[in-house]
């Protein structure tokens, strides 16, 4: 099962979700791989791995390097990482030079599939060949949305580009329930988008602290509201994905 944290926008909580959800999947007993596709390498950093793919990310993406040999273990049992590489900033060009760019990431992942119950793709914010290739590879997109007026538009756009082949699980991220606007947006979504996940990730200093701790929430603030929310979110996602 391939799950991609995706949004056209940056700074909405994709990486925070990828790291915490992948951690929870692994802790729940599933063999889990997180592939950091963002050249900025935030999830690689949070999992304390060096942001570099030996031989270059370009060769990996083009199928010239066996992905299995580039996987790193993390400090956590059953959680592996395919690290970011700075060359991913040109991944569009690298994909464009291949025969079927949209199939590329799925092809790289195919040989790994038997080894992992879950593969998480932490995506860079964009609409590009990279995203097309992500949509092909992913069974579901996990879409963090800020509760702002333009979010409905963002979700519409994602639905247009992602097409029907990939299921979409959107959830609100960085929610400040004291803010009138946040409450209003979430209320209108509840009627217009009943398929939204019900779990909400609150705006919480614990999530920002992940950068200092370089660890998932469960490792340093398991009783905080943010950790509770991610546990609830993973449970809801798992239920939505259904039996496999």
Ligand X SMILES: Nc1ncnc2c1ncn2[C@@H]1O[C@H](COP(=O)(O)OP(=O)(O)O)[C@@H](O)[C@H]1O
Residues at the contact surface with ligand X, assessed by CB under 6 A? 10-16, 42, 173-174, 201, 203-204, 207-208, 211, 226
Residue with Cβ nearer ligand X (65 or 121): 121
**Residue 201 interface partner, choices ligand X, Mg ion, none, CB cut-off 5-8 Å depending on type:** ligand X
Distance CA 135, CA 102 (A): 8
| Residues of the shown chain interacting with Mg ion in the complex, contacts defined by CB under 5 A | 14-15, 42
Task: Give percent helix, percent strand, percent coil of the chain, each to the nearest 5.
Answer: 50, 15, 35
Smallest Cα–Cα separation from 174: which of 116, 232, 225?
A: 225
**Residue 174 interface partner, choices Mg ion, ligand X, none, CB cut-off 5-8 Å depending on type:** ligand X
Residue with Cβ nearer ligand X (16 or 166): 16
- Smallest separation, CB 62 to ligand X (Å): 25
Q: Are the beta carbons of 147 and 185 closer than 8 angstroms?
A: yes
- Smallest separation, CB 59 to ligand X (Å): 25
3-state secondary structure of 38: coil
Distance CA 228, CA 164 (A): 31
- Smallest separation, CB 192 to ligand X (Å): 23
């Amino acid at each position: 099962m391939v799950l991609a944290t995706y949004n056209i926008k940056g700074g909405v909580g994709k990486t925070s979700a990828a790291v915490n959800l992948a951690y929870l999947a692994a802790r729940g007993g599933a063999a889990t791989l997180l592939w950091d596709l963002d050249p900025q390498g935030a999830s690689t950093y949070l999992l304390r791995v060096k942001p570099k793919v030996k031989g270059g990310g370009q060769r990996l993406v083009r199928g010239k390097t066996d992905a299995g040999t580039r996987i790193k273990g993390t400090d956590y049992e059953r959680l592996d990482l395919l690290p970011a590489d700075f060359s991913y900033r040109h991944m569009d060009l690298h994909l464009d030079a291949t025969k079927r760019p949209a199939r590329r990431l799925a092809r790289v992942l195919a040989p790994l599939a038997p080894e992992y119950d879950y593969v998480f793709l932490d995506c860079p914010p964009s609409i590009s060949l990279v995203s097309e290739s992500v949509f092909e590879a992913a069974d579901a997109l996990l879409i963090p949305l800020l509760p702002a007026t333009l979010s409905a538009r963002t979700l519409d756009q994602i639905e247009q580009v992602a097409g029907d082949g990939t299921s979409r699980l959107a959830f609100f991220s960085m929610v400040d329930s004291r803010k009138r606007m946040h409450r209003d947006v979430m209320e209108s979504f509840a009627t217009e988008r009943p398929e939204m996940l019900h779990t909400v990730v609150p705006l919480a200093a614990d999530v920002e602290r992940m950068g200092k701790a370089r660890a998932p929430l469960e490792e340093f603030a398991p009783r905080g509201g943010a950790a509770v929310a991610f546990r609830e979110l993973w449970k809801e996602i798992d239920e939505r994905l259904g039996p496999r």
